Amino acid sequence: MEIAVGRGIQTLAHCSFFPFTVKTIDRTSFTRSNNGWLAKKGPGSAPSHQRVVVVRAQNRPTWLPGLDPPPYLDGTLAGDFGFDPLGLGEDPESLKWYVQAELVHARFAMAGVAGILATDLLRVTGISNLPVWYEAGATKFSFASTRTLIIVQLLLMGFVETKRYMDFITPGSQAKEGSFFGLEASFEGLEPGYPGGPLLNPLGLAKDIKNAHEWKLKEIKNGRLAMVAILGIFVQANVTHVGPIDNLIQHLSNPWHTTIIQIVFGSKS
């Protein structure tokens, strides 16, 4: 979108915070095209000292309007809004790894938030006698000792994470026959970070992963929201020593006097 404006706002071209790409051109007359209002010299027109500012709005959304994203974040990645204040993605190989790391953390956060809220709701409503989420790790089970559970979890998670890392290093290597106990067809790896098949994609969503940008964007947006939410749950538990559902009930029972401000200042006193 282009907008040709008069001399009156020519100074905007020198403003560093102006969220548009701005250029100035000589003007003797206006003409309108599909690209907007542009300046055009007519036949026999005299030279003019007037100037026109042509403003082109950015087509790509960024995390801060008007901010030019770094060149290595060109918008091709799902959820790329040009946010990298520390420059962690300058190295292409590091950028690939950070993309996978964010994706895995996002998925763990979404599973964690859903698990915490579901179990806390069952506990508060009395449907099940479950411990509050931050005490669940201390629960003793009759079918196995804590040491046994830790060892089993380390072995299973270690195996899965090793397979994921090997597929990241050599894409497609873990889809070869015999590489996953004969279960390769049940996963149908689409690309690193996006396994599929009836086990991990039972609804058959985004089978064409190369053209599934919208699904990838939705996932990473929800994942980032979940990471912020899980951080909030951690902080709430540390300050209030209750679960998120209890926090919500307390706030709704007295919304004007049970807020983060009263809780933080009350804990300091």
Whether 100 has a binding-site annotation, put simply, is no
- What does the pLDDT read at residue 208? 76
With CA atoms as reference, report the closest residue to 124 among 255, 258, 243.
243
For residue 197, which amino acid is it? G
Higher pLDDT, 74 or 34: 74
Whether 219 has a binding-site annotation, put simply, is yes
Buried b (16+ CB within 10 A) or exposed e, 176-198: eeeeeeeebeebebbebbbbbbe
Is residue 94 within 8 Å of residue 88, measured between CB atoms? yes
d(CA 230, CA 223): 10
pLDDT tens digits along 116-153? 999 999 999 999 888 999 998 888 888 888 899 999 99
Whether 236 has a binding-site annotation, put simply, is yes
Whether 191 has a binding-site annotation, put simply, is no
- What does the pLDDT read at residue 269? 53
Q: What is the residue whose two structure tokens read 């919208």? A: 214
